[in-house]
Structure formats: structure tokens, C-alpha cells
A and B are shown apart, each in its own frame.
Chain A
Amino acid sequence: DIQMTQSPSSLSASVGDRVTITCRASQSISSYLNWYQQKPGKAPKLLIYAASSLQSGVPSRFSGSGSGTDFTLTISSLQPEDFATYYCQQSYSLYTFGQGTKLEIK
């Protein structure tokens, strides 16, 4: 099974900050990597698919990069509505999610 490890597990930041979340796969997964945002009591929402493609309707301050085993999600300027938990997911071999990164207000 492919394991996905996110870092950090939690992060405190301020509105306007630039934030980067990292996801590492236990083996190469090419660009089979997606990012989701989840707010408390809500279903996950797709942000980025295929490592770097922005889902329709998602603000351009979100971006994704990486290939192989190392990936990043970047939020260029944090907005109040961005405080949530973020998950990466591999779709190279079945589907596995990272453990999540909780982004909190500093």
C-alpha cells in the first residue's frame, strides 16, 4: 500500500500569510496527487487535482506542485475562510489520503 505523509500536522498562521503544506508518498506516484479542503462538519472539497490543476471555482491563491514522491499545496495569501483541514490523496494505486493538516488562526 502507498502511504501518504503530510507535514506539518498542524499549522498556525495569520490572514495574509503565505502557507505551504507538504505531502510525501512512500513510492513514486507521478502526478497522481489531489488536494482537498475540509471544514468542520462538512464534506471535503476538491481544490487541486493531478498535482497542479486548479479545480473550477477554486480561488487562484491556491496552487499545487510536485511530482514523484514530493508535493506541495501553497496558499499565497491566507483568507479567513481558508482556515480548515487539508488532505492530500494519491490515486496511483487505489486511493490513500494523508493524515491531514489543520490550519488554524494565529
Chain B
Amino acid sequence: QVQLVQSGAEVKKPGASVKVSCKASGYTFTSYYMHWVRQAPGQGLEWMGIINPSGGSTSYAQKFQGRVTMTRDTSTSTVYMELSSLRSEDTAVYYCARGSLTTRLGTPLHYFDYWGQGTLVTVSS
């Protein structure tokens, strides 16, 4: 069965960086894109970016450009999300989510079908 298992909670000081991992199992790692989504306490869901585990290409939401880096290790079927220059507003639960697609009349329609359990990152001095 498909599983995405994320690393544990982190506490960081403002200005520091954090690196969260997401280990995939139960499917062919390089056949599906992986997304990162975050959720601040009591707030909604915010898409951060996507990585193609096959070639390593990435695309980031404009809000996070220059501060986020997504990488992967195909030998361990793990993707990573590193966020730098942390500030208190980055306190959130960070999720990885597998990207799938279906086609309708030749058009690819994307969705997130499996999610990790989430990693709480707390930024506090």
C-alpha cells in the first residue's frame, strides 16, 4: 500500500533553516510527482511546490521562491523540502502529497491522492 512517512517535529529559531523528509513506499517512486503543502495553525492549505522525482526538476510557488529547495534521493525513495530564513509566520504543519493525474478528452487533470502524516515546524526565539 502507498505510504508517505515524514520526519518528526522541528523547533527552529528565526533565521534558521529546516529540512523535512518524506519517504515513499508501495509504488514506483520515480513515476509520480511529489508536492509540498503547508498549513499554519487554524488556517487553510497552501501549496508550496512540486518536484519530479525522476529527473529532479522543481517548480515553486512564487511566495517561496528563493527560500525553498526541494530535492530527492532515488536510492531511498525520499524527497526533501528545505525552507530557509525562517520567520514566525512559517510555523505550520508541512505535508508531502503524491501527485496523480487522470485524462479526460486528452486533458491531464491533476490531484493529490496520498498525503504524508505532516511535520510540525515551530519557529520561535
Contacts and interface: CB of A to CB of B under 8 A. Distances in A.
Contacts, number: 61
Interface in B78-106: 95, 97, 100, 102, 104
Interface stretch (B10-18, B44-52, B65-73): B44-52
Interface SS of A by simple majority? loop
B118 interface: yes
A46 B44 contact: no
B116 interface: yes
Interface SS of B by simple majority? strand
Interface of B: 35, 37, 44-47, 59, 61, 95, 97, 100, 102, 104, 107, 109-113, 115-118
A4 B32 CA distance: 26
B107 A46 contact: no
B45 A87 contact: yes
14 contacts: A34-B111, A43-B95, A43-B97, A43-B115, A43-B118, A44-B95, A44-B112, A49-B100, A49-B111, A89-B45, A91-B110, A96-B47, A100-B44, A100-B45
A46 B102 contact: no
Nearest to B114: A46
A89 B102 CA distance: 15
